[in-house]
Each structure stands twice: as C-alpha cells, then as structure tokens.
Structure 1
C-alpha cells in the first residue's frame, strides 16, 4: 500500500457489507480520507491505533488531493474511503488522474453499490427471464447534467429494470420521464429504498402512478434508490418464466445428461 492511494468501496451503509479485502486494507491504513456524508462512521472503529481519519465532506478536490499526496510523501498507507462502489457516481476518475499527474499510483477495491443493497432489502432479483435481462444504473439531471442521449425518457423506452441514484428529490419528474418513454404505464411497479442496509432503512413500494405521493408522505427527500420495472411484480404475481439454469433438460459443461 505504501507509495500509492487505495480507493476502497465502503458499501451502502451496513458496515458488514464492506468486502474482506476492503476491510483488511482499511485496517492497515495510516491515513484515511473518508466521504463523511455517506460512509458509516462505524467503519472508523476498524482503524489501527494512531491512524489518521479525515472527513472529505467539507473539503474541495484540491484539499482532498493535498491530504492524500502529503500522506504518500510521508510514507503512509493512504486509503480513500468511498461509499458504495467507487466506480458508481464516486468521482474517482478525476482524483486518480490528478494523483497520476503527481506520480502517485492508485488501486481500487470494489464495493457493494446501493442498487444491490436495495434489491436485497426488497428480496428482489433484478433480472428475470421473459421480463428483463437488462439493468440500467442511471440518474435524472440535477446540478450535474445528463447527456441528451441518456435522457430518462429514452432509457425508459427500453422497458428494462432501471435503478436511479441521486433522483428521489425529483421523483415527480422521474415519473413523467418514465411514462414519456412509452414502455411503462402508471401501473408499472416501483420501489424506493431509503438508506439501504442502514439501521434506519425505509422501503416504500407502489406504482409509477402513486409512488411519488407515497414517498412525499414518508418525507424521503435524499439518500434513496429508486427501482422501476416489471420484475417487481414477481413477488406478488409469481415468476412468469423459470431460468434455464436449473431446468432438468438444460445441459452445460457442469451438468451433462446421461
């Protein structure tokens, strides 16, 4: 770890959902810069005696980079602790590019992203035969723009299972975009999982026709994952088509019929 910065995915909230490799890396660190607005602080109890921990929430990019670069220069094992998986809305590319410019190498340890924690809370498979074999991770535009080709109404036209980050405060507009896509209707099931895997997690389920009102009534305005798609009907209507994987007539390299 010395001489480089290791970006570690902390997972969605539950401190036990960090990977084994991520935890070991964290436990060896001398300096940790963590995303305090989202990372569960319980993970900081895993730091060894004498390790430094800095909350990046009030810092800008240059200040974060300065902390990490100074740590590496001092021979410290440096960890940048991000929420969920660093590759999903983690803004790590700009950090790694800047560190590379300083001659500092990087490593990334993946983590569990909120979409999968939300699916686990719902006890829901996101890909079902005959329903959807595609999962889209996206968001609606806010202060950060979304490319025109990726407008939500265009993505919704796929009819695929869609998981939206950073969008619950714009849920009415989200619903409008989904309906404008032409594949989903007001009866399409939708779910919102607030603070997935945290102790205060909340789940709101409904349809595109009523989910915005239900979420507003629950007072959920941030830190929530939205899932939309027909796969959500399976828990009430049954699985329409079984997987080929366990079909007794389906053969593959590990199961050969005799």
Structure 2
C-alpha cells in the first residue's frame, strides 16, 4: 500500500497521529529532502529503505513505487506540510492509477496555518475578513492570468503567499496596487516551527527592506491583511445575546 503523508511544516510533532503510525510501519520512505526535516525518519523502523526525492524525477519516484506493486510493503511518500497544497501529488496519483495501484492520502498541517499560529493571529475575523486566499507569485511555474497577485489582492481579504519571498519586491509592488495601500500589515515567517524560525513583521511599504536585512530568500510564508493588526468585531458564536441550536441568547 502507498500512503501520501503530510509531514507538517517542520516540527516533527506536528505530523498527525495517523501519519506518524504509518511512518513507523513503513518499509520504504520517499521523502522531500529539501523540505522535510529528516528528524521524521528517526521514527522509522531500523531496516526501512529511504529515497530523497530532491534528486529524483517523477518517473524515478513512480518506478520505486511500482517495483513494490506485488509485495505487502508499506510505501510512504512523505511530503512537507499538507500534500494537497503545492504538493505535486496529482501527477503521481495519475501515474499510480495507470498501474492500477492503491494509495491513500493522510493530510498534514500546512505551513500557512503554522505561520498564522507563529504570529498568534486568526485569518478570519468578523467585519475584517472571512476569506483566505492561498496563492503564489508566478515564476518558472506560471500562474493563470486571472490569478495575478494584483487581482487577488484587490479583494482585500487575508492572504497566504507561498514560494514567493525570493521575489519580495515584485510581490509587494503587486500587493500595493491590489490593496490600494502600502500601509497593509504583513508578516513573513521563515521556516515556521523549525528551530531556526524567524518572524519579520511590517507593512507593505517596508517589508521588502526588512526581509532582505534578515537575509531571507526562501522557505517562507508571506501573510498579508488587516487580520494581522487592527480592530475587529466580537464573534456572534459566543455572544450572550446570540441564539443557536445549543444555547438560548439573553438580552
């Protein structure tokens, strides 16, 4: 059986209990070595085989999986964060489907939620934002024109931007145009939950300078929006005057 397992953002304890149990039972682990902390592999049994996919192609990864097709071995494809976000798992699953191989996906904690936790903020606040946009800046991987960063920022909701800090100046330029202000709060979280985690707080007008001063050029989340700082309304859910199925509101 093949399992796609989300390893979480970094901290080895942020993998799910189910993910950890499957990892402990794995005979073969193909892990994203450039992103997944190798401390995860210390939970594997002593005789497991490991493959670092950082130096592998899709074809090579699938070849390892297919070679075990007729065995009872457990194969774990260990992805960083949650594999459903920028995990490139669809192309792997399509190839496995061609070989009529069974697989399962175990979700994980994404770096965008880990980053919000690191700065102790909530993406969705009443009368501030009820929407989170997860996106990235175009680079060698293109982005559909309809999803240009400036257009997305025009919604003025909370944003979590992956894989883009290396182009922070262009990111900022597009966001300023979209939000219509350079005074929007921003947090850049480098390697959320890792021992070397760094948090840089600022505004669109100064965040690029701050990020460069810290020497940050990769492995970062860019969080943008008024959820980071500012006024908000109290939630109705726990308001004494709000009635719902489990509680009668009082005046």
* Among candidates 223, 236, 251, match of residue 243 of structure 2: 251
CA-to-aligned-CA distance 1:198-232 (integer Å, 9 cap, x gap): 00000000000000000001000000000010111
Structure 2 residue matching 1:116: 3-state secondary structure:
helix
Pairwise CA distance, 1:153: 0.6
Query: 1:32, 1:78 within 8 Å by CA — same for their partners in 2?
Result: yes
Superposed CA offset, 1:106-130 (max 9, x none): 1100000000010000000011001
TM-score by length of 2: 0.97
Name the residue aligned to 1:45.
Answer: 42
Matched, 1:71 2:68: yes
How far apart are residue 75 of structure 1 and its match? 2.5
1:219 pairs with one of 204, 215, 224:
215
Aligned match of 1:24: 21
Quote the residue 2:101 is aligned against: 104
**Following superposition of structure 1 onto structure 2, how do residues 90-169 of structure 1 map, counting pairs within 5 Å?**
90-169=87-166
Q: Separation in 2 of the partners of 1:40 and 1:188?
A: 33
Aligned length: 250
TM-score, with length taken from structure 1: 0.95
Paired with 2:108 and 2:58, the residues of 1 have a C-alpha distance of 22
Q: 2:57: which partner in 1? A: 60
Task: Give CA deviations for 1:21-63 in whole Å, capped at 9, x if unaligned.
Answer: 1101111111110000010100101101211111111000100
Aligned-partner Cα distance in 1 for 2:244–2:46: 52
Q: Secondary structure at the match of 1:245?
A: coil
The structural deviation recorded for 1:103 is: 0.9
Give the Å deviation of 1:74: 3.0
Counterparts of 2:120 and 2:249 in 1: how far apart (Å)?
32
- Tell me the residue number matched to 1:209: 205
Gaps of 5+ in 1: none
Ranges of 4+ aligned residues in structure 1 off by more than 6 Å:
none
Q: Distance between the aligned counterparts of 2:249 and 2:171, measured in 1?
A: 48
Matches of 1:22 and 1:136 in 2, distance apart? 27
Q: Please say if residues 32 and 79 of structure 1, whose CA atoms lie closer than 8 Å, have aligned partners that are also in contact.
A: yes
Q: Does 1:36 align with 2:33?
A: yes
- Kindly report the root-mean-square deviation, in angstroms, between the aligned alpha carbons of the 2 structures: 1.0
* Mapped partners of 1:16, 1:77: distance in 2: 22
SS of residue in 2 equivalent to 1:145: coil
